[in-house]
Amino acid sequence: MPGSHAFESLHEQQRKVLKVTTIAERPYVMEKTLPDGTIEGYEGFCIDLLDKLALHLGFEYELNIVRDAKYGRPKANSTEWDGMIGEILNGNADIAVAPITVTARRLEVVDFTDPFLQLGISMLMRTPDKKATASITSFMWPLSPRVWMFSAIGTFLTAFVITLIAVLSPRESPEQFNIKNSFWYLMCILLRAGSGFNCQSSASRIASSVWWTFSLVLIAQYTANFAAVLTVDRKSMPFNSFEELGNQTEYSFGSIYGGSTMQFFQYSRLETFKRIWERMENATPSSFVESNDQGVERVYVFLMESASLEYEVTQNCNLTRVGNIVLGSNGYSIALPKGMKGSRWREKLTRQILDFNEKGIMMMLKNNWWKSSEQTEECQSAQSTGGEEGSGGALDSRILSDCSSYSGQDWLCL
């Protein structure tokens, strides 16, 4: 009889308690802070999803954060796996509910449900805060510090040469071209102003001509860059494709160590991606990180998955997606053991995930967690009033293609 002790214990036995492994990654699984500041349990997209699945499929769960904080890849010189995949394989977990990507290698050892989120690999970059950098020294932006430094050294050296010529040449007056006046003479040439000095000897005329030519190039370069710097918007990037990223050396880039993103570049046969992998592998200090939040903080350009990237740009105005590139099409799925034990749950969970997708529940859950922070809302509205488009914080971020650099291999891009 319902309510009786016998019924309760029978019911208990029938209810399955699943051991769930997951990873602390925002906004999927985050520590829950109560209003009084104490931390109690976890919250996030995956927790909500898990609760909904548990409710609909009638199971209970015991949540554990994966001990080594890894997603899962084969251990070196061993058949064992680390991370959440390892936990499933050694029986410590029944399922993994986390932002874990389906890959061919993982599929060889575990099963996956249909994906609950779609994604591809994208580039996230930290952009400078405009307000913080605009200053009295902004006029120096058009040229790099090195160019300024070498121009100053060049000016002093040329002034010294002109003074020396004036001392040695009988046609020049050393009083007129002393070091101070020579310097003034060169500055006037540089700034297209008259200095009132005129050199007479061939040697100083040759030196002056060389200086004029140099000043012509420098001023042309400065003027050209000045217009570009003044109209620079937050979305103008030093590179716009993976090809360009691999070819430049100025910006460091990285990904999660051992994650599917890293493995994608590690095992790719395409030159562009191989080059990116070599650069990441040989970077010192290491450009690999443990999690997305570490990557966002530490690495200048972070190669990460578009679903997580969309979240990061909603949280920080200084983060921008580079070039709207989404490489490949993949998904986050629930991982389960292979074989009979897993397949029963795989079917149930897949059906339920499809149902959530069709009914818009998944979208609702996502909208709940991918909300813009107050700070980003403010700066996005500031940008739109300034006539600029938002820096990528929109939930329905468009997935555009950037296939030009992969010589027609459009299966690589969405």
Using CB under 6 A as the criterion, which residues of the chain lie in contact with ligand ASP when the complex forms?
Answer: 71, 99-101, 255-256, 259-262, 304-305
Q: Cβ 108 to ligand ASP, closest distance in Å?
A: 15
Q: Cβ 193 to ligand ASP, closest distance in Å?
A: 57
Nearer to ligand ASP by Cβ, of 260 and 314: the residue is 260
Whether residue 135 is annotated as binding a ligand: the answer is no
Q: Cβ 397 to ligand ASP, closest distance in Å?
A: 17
Whether residue 106 is annotated as binding a ligand: the answer is yes
Longest dimension (CA), the chain: 122
Nearer to ligand ASP by Cβ, of 94 and 305: the residue is 305
Whether residue 260 is annotated as binding a ligand: the answer is yes
Q: Cβ 242 to ligand ASP, closest distance in Å?
A: 15
Nearer to ligand ASP by Cβ, of 87 and 172: the residue is 87
Q: Cβ 308 to ligand ASP, closest distance in Å?
A: 7
Under 8 Å between Cβ of 179 and 159: yes
Nearer to ligand ASP by Cβ, of 30 and 187: the residue is 30
> How far is the C-alpha of 376 from the C-alpha of 315, rounded, in Å?
6
Whether residue 305 is annotated as binding a ligand: the answer is yes
Nearer to ligand ASP by Cβ, of 304 and 414: the residue is 304
Q: Cβ 61 to ligand ASP, closest distance in Å?
A: 20
Nearer to ligand ASP by Cβ, of 82 and 305: the residue is 305
Q: Cβ 330 to ligand ASP, closest distance in Å?
A: 9
Whether residue 236 is annotated as binding a ligand: the answer is no
Q: Enter the tokens of residue 405.
A: 């650099």
Nearer to ligand ASP by Cβ, of 84 and 413: the residue is 84
> Which residue sits closest to ligand ASP, CB atoms considered?
259
CA angle, 325 as apex, 399 and 277 as ends, to 5°? 145
Nearer to ligand ASP by Cβ, of 100 and 413: the residue is 100
CA angle, 353 as apex, 296 and 86 as ends, to 5°? 60
Q: Cβ 25 to ligand ASP, closest distance in Å?
A: 8
Q: Cβ 289 to ligand ASP, closest distance in Å?
A: 10
The residue whose two tokens read 């012509």 is: 216
HEC string of the chain equals CCCCHHHHHHHHHHCEEEEEEECCECCCEEEEECCCCCEEEEECHHHHHHHHHHHHHCEEEEEEECCCCCCCCECCCCCCECHHHHHHHCCCCCEECCCCECCHHHHHHEEECCCCEEEEEEEEEECCCHHHHCCHHHHHCCCCHHHHHHHHHHHHHHHHHHHHHHHHCCCCCCCCCCHHHHHHHHHHHHCCCCCCCCCCCHHHHHHHHHHHHHHHHHHHHHHHHHHHHHCCCCCCCCCCCHHHHHHCCCCCEECECCCHHHHHHHHCCCHHHHHHHHHHHHCCCCCCECCHHHHHHHCCEEEEEHHHHHHHHHHCCCEEECCCECEEEEEECCEEECCHHHHHHHHHHHHHHHHHHHCCHHHHHHHHHCCCCHHHHHHHHHHHHCCCCCCCCCCCCCCECCCHHHCCCHHHEC
CA angle, 380 as apex, 379 and 381 as ends, to 5°? 90
Nearer to ligand ASP by Cβ, of 69 and 229: the residue is 69
Whether residue 99 is annotated as binding a ligand: the answer is yes
Residues annotated in a binding site: 99, 101, 106, 260-261, 305
Residues annotated in a binding site for L-glutamate: 99, 101, 106, 260-261, 305
